[in-house]
Amino acid sequence: MIRPPETFATSRLSARRPRVDDAAAVFAAYATDADVTRYLAWPPYKRVEPLVDFLRERISDWERPAAAHYAWMLCLRGTDTPIGSIGVMPDGRKVMCGYVLAKKFWGRGMMTEALRHVVEWAVAQPDVDRVWAYCDSENPASLRVMEKAGLVQEGVLRRWHASPTIGPGLRDCVVCSKVK
């Protein structure tokens, strides 16, 4: 069974469990931004209420001993306001990672820092054989983050995921992993 730590910190970031009162900050920082959601499975939020519902689900995950998803809110160290999120999705001995960061903070190596920490934690778990993530084949920044975090590109899943911000059709994805 995989039980992630409820908090962690890197040199510039702190990660903690989500709270309902994060909704306003997440809405303001990135959830409504189509540049942020472009390659994600969810479209930009138009109202804060559905985001509250989403956060409630992520909060309840942490109450379960073996949830399918554990998400952390990422804050600049020394602050408590979310600027992004990273999560793990355990599935047997496999752990998939996903992440999002407010546009204002792109290009400073922050998500690499967070993902590297999560990948190293996951790989160190005795019950985990595979840590992986995927990104849209047109999202080179995310591919670079995966590679810098220690994942190795292993192939393309053709017509694998939907990006509603772009349109209804399924899109190709690049898969990266670290295995042991």
Ligand X SMILES: CC(C)(COP(=O)(O)OP(=O)(O)OC[C@H]1O[C@@H](n2cnc3c(N)ncnc32)[C@H](O)[C@@H]1OP(=O)(O)O)[C@@H](O)C(=O)NCCC(=O)NCCS
Q: Can you tell me which residue has the tokens 């559905």? A: 50
111 binds ligand X (CB under 6 A): yes
Binding to ligand X (CB under 6 A): which residues in 42-101? 99-101
Interface stretch with ligand X, choices 2-10, 62-70, 105-113, 156-164 (CB under 6 A): 105-113
Q: Tell me the residue type at 157.
A: L
CB of 17 to ligand X, least distance (A): 20
- Can you tell me which of 39, 70, 72, 132 binds ligand X, judged by CB under 6 A? 39
**Residue 79 DSSP symbol:** -
Q: Report the length, in residues, of the chain.
A: 180
Q: Would you say 67 or 100 has its CB closer to ligand X?
A: 100
H-only helix segments in the chain:
23-26, 34-37, 48-61, 110-123, 140-148
Q: How do beta strands 152-162 and 130-136 pair?
A: unpaired
Binding to ligand X (CB under 6 A): which residues in 125-154? 135, 139-142, 144-145
In angstroms, the CA 49 to CA 20 distance is 10
- Can you tell me which of 5, 50, 107, 155 binds ligand X, judged by CB under 6 A? 107
**Footprint of ligand X (CB under 6 A):** 36, 39-40, 99-101, 106-112, 135, 139-142, 144-145
